[in-house]
Structure 1
Amino acid sequence: MDKVKINQYVSFSKVIQGFWRAQDWQWTPQQLNRYLNELVERGITTMDHADIYGDYSCEGVFGEALKLSPQLREEMEIVSKCGIVLPSHRIQGADGHRYNHSKKHIQQSVERSLKELQVDYLDTLLIHRPSPLMDPQEVTEALKILVTEGKVKSFGVSNFNKSQYDLLNQCLVCDKLHITLNQLEVSPYTLDIIEDGTMNHMLKDDVKIMSWSPMAGGKLFDLEDEKAARIMTVISPLTQKYNVTANGIVMAWFNKHPAAIMPVLGTHQIDRIDEAIAGLKITITDQEWFDIYTASLGHDIP
């Protein structure tokens, strides 16, 4: 599988495995380890985490599985996020729902993620959501320390719009750092970041896009949803033309975009992964891309 270059140290697989619901899979470390090996064998090497996933437990689940095949670490790119606080008895000070972008919290969150994942460094750290209390200088100071200590190889954000990105990146570049990634919600069903210019703004600065909820949380396949039904009316004939599933057509739709959008899949079914990979091997036409796009918009382009 082709790789997407993030910076001089890190490249990602075009499809990313997400672990938001890993706790719900109720797998043994051995079962998850087998899945990790299957992913890497297929070229899916980038693993997406966050400190809060599964009530702060999913990173630990992953770490126990990775420990069974420690050699896999050098074949993987591990992403984690911090900045959201959720109420939990598992974490000291997690007594409410808020954002915390303080230097101390970022450093502590990374230290905990490294311990839970049982690794020495993160390939990428993302600030999970923007905060009205974010001090960009404090975030920059935390990142400088983490980079100097070798604990973070690249840095990005998640769910940041244009102005939020600019605020933080302007501070970072003053210290010769750079936001390399923005993880955003985008799919054939959810076009907001394309329509509001955020996608173009990221492309201008060579910021790569990770797509969370690339299938719109399953809504894309709900034919009782009028918008989804319009989109699937376009996608269905394409599955026959290209001999792939609807998942494969969605992957091809992402892959067509020049922003190198990398979908984060939350599945734990290897056949769904294979469907996604098959989609990367086809190239839909410009017209087919726009047919899906306008079906989502609900009207023709000007």
Structure 2
Amino acid sequence: MRQTSSKRKAIEFSPYLVGTMRLGKWGENFNTKQWLEFIEKSLALGLKDFDHADIYGDYTTEADFGKVLKENPHLRNEMQITTKCGIRMPAEKRPKNKMKTYDSGDKYILQSVENSLRNLQTDYIDVLLLHRPDFLMNPNEIAETFEKLRDDGKVRFFGVSNFTTSQFEMINSVFPLITHQIEASISHLNPFEDGTLDQLLVKNIRPTVWSPLGGGNLKQKENYKLNQELDKVFGILCEKYEVNTAQLMLLFLKKHPSGIIPVLGTSKPVRLEEALEIDSKNMEKEDWYALYSATKGEELP
């Protein structure tokens, strides 16, 4: 196994990443003026990190964002851009993709980065993530590709998304990763239980988290008694901390010592403002476990 002598460098993220997935073709379908207004408002709030993926909007959202940077190049120095690659998806922009597959080969990563640089109208990407684990990935090949991108000044930092702990370690052992983007929320507790957050905490690597509000679907189980108990706990704690449901769910994540950074998928600046309002609050441990237990529908063993 190839070893790296590179030391992990630090990156300073905003308290939240601003997600772009639902701002383009897959959601609000912002025009350039709306993109500009949203970006400027995010920056004014101190949220400088924007989360992308090449596939968003069927491979169109990066270019929509890039139009703003082309017309307002000064904004690039005020922000950090995260984007992802590694998913081959059938789309009009990718006619050669016959079916959805994962690809972490050197040629595909290098070409994906060139596409993202062109679409985003930038000379470099701050953070590049492998979007999904390629079951045929070669960690040494990935490390060499990452080194080339870093040495060429095209990507500053690297991470992965949706990997298992062993897959993360396989890459991190040969090239220093600076984050792991995972799904986590009150309604998706797996990372708290399967070692994912434990691993990142031990390595002092901060996770970024997609769908921190559970996709707005807190009550996933058709269990009236369970949902009643969940409503009761949420009601008590929302009143105690003077927050709404979404803010309480963010407080739950931010309590974890790994330093979780949620990716906010909203198109409404007021939601960004509400998220920032909780930064001075700290959930008590007993309340954290009250939410955890209510969601599980049972007391701790």
TM-score, with structure 2 as normaliser: 0.91
Structure 1 Cα separation of the partners of residues 18 and 268 of structure 2: 11
Aligned pair partner of 1:34 in 23, 34, 37: 37
Q: Distance in 2 between matches of 1:225 and 1:38?
A: 41
**Are the structure 2 counterparts of residues 223 and 271 from structure 1 closer, same or farther at C-alpha, using a change threshold of 3 Å?**
farther
Q: Structure 2: how far apart are the matches of 1:245 and 1:117?
A: 35
User: What residue in structure 1 maps to residue 5 of structure 2?
Assistant: none
Q: Deviations over 1:247-299 (max 9, x none)?
A: 11122222211111011111101111111111222112111111111112221
Distance in 2 (alpha carbons) for counterparts of 1:299 and 1:184: 25
Residues 78, 229 of structure 1: CA spacing in aligned structure 2 closer, same or farther, 3 A cutoff?
A: farther
Task: Verify the 8 A CA contact 1:77 1:123 in the aligned structure 2.
Answer: yes
Q: Please, which runs of 5 or more residues in structure 1 have no aligned partner?
A: 1-6, 173-177
After superposing the two structures, state which structure 1 stretch, 142-151 or 229-238, moved more: 229-238
Q: Which of 182, 186, 189 is matched with 2:187 structurally?
A: 189
Once the two structures are superposed, what CA deviation does each residue of 1:189-215 show, in whole Å capped at 9, x if it has no partner? 110011111110121112211111111
Q: Please point out which of 94, 105, 110 is paired with 2:108.
A: 105
1:139 counterpart residue number? 142
Distance 1:291 1:213, change over 3 A: same
Q: Identity over aligned residues, as a percent?
A: 36
The letter of the residue matching 1:17 is V
Aligned with 1:56 (options 53, 56, 59): 59
Q: CA 1:37/1:223 → structure 2, altered by over 3 Å: closer, same or farther?
A: farther
Q: How many residues in Structure 1 have an aligned counterpart in Structure 2? A: 291
Distance in 1 between residues matched to 2:140 and 2:221, nearest whole Å = 47
Residues in 1 aligned to 2:101 and 2:14: alpha-carbon distance in whole angstroms: 32
Q: Pick from 139, 164, 169: which aligns with 1:166?
A: 169
Q: Deviations over 1:89-118 (max 9, x none)?
A: 212532221011100100110111111111
Paired amino acid for 1:203: L
Q: Give the stretch that moved more between structures: 20-29 or 147-156.
A: 20-29
Q: Which amino acid aligns with 2:12?
A: S
Q: 1:76: Cα distance to partner?
A: 1.0
Cα distance, 1:129 vs structure 2: 0.6
Asked if structure 1 preserves the Cα contact closer than 8 Å seen for 2:22 and 2:267, the reply is: no
Q: Pick which of 74-83 and 272-281 moved more.
A: 272-281
Q: Secondary structure, in 3 states, of the residue corresponding to 2:218?
A: helix
Name the SS for the 2:295 alignment partner.
helix
User: Residues 110-259 of structure 1: matches in 2 within 5 Å?
Assistant: 110-172=113-175, 178-220=176-218, 230-259=229-258
- SS in structure 2 at match of 1:17: strand
CA shift, 1:223, in A, is 9.3
- CA shift, 1:80, in A, is 0.3
The amino acid that maps onto 2:296 is L
CA contact (8 A) 1:82 1:127 kept: yes
Of residues 78-87 and 131-140 in structure 1, the stretch that sits farther from structure 2 once superposed is: 131-140
Contact 1:251 1:276 in 2 (8 A): yes
Aligned partner letter, 2:298: H
Report the Cα offset of residue 244 of structure 1.
Answer: 2.0
Secondary structure of 1:12's counterpart equals: coil
Query: Which structure is higher in RCO with an 8 Å CA cutoff and minimum separation 6?
Result: 2
Counterpart-to-counterpart distance in 2, 1:147 and 1:236: 48
Secondary structure, aligned partner of 1:47: strand
Alignment-mate amino acid for residue 270 of structure 1: P
Q: Give me the CA root mean square deviation.
A: 1.8
Query: Could you tell me how far 1:53 is from its partner in structure 2?
Result: 0.7
The one-letter amino acid of 1:296's match is T
Q: Structure 2 vs 1, CA of residues 232 and 60 (structure 1 numbering), >3 Å: closer, same or farther?
A: farther
Q: Which runs of 5+ in 2 are unaligned?
A: 1-7
In structure 2, what is the Cα distance between the partners aligned to 1:229 and 1:59? 42
Matched to 1:168, the amino acid is: I
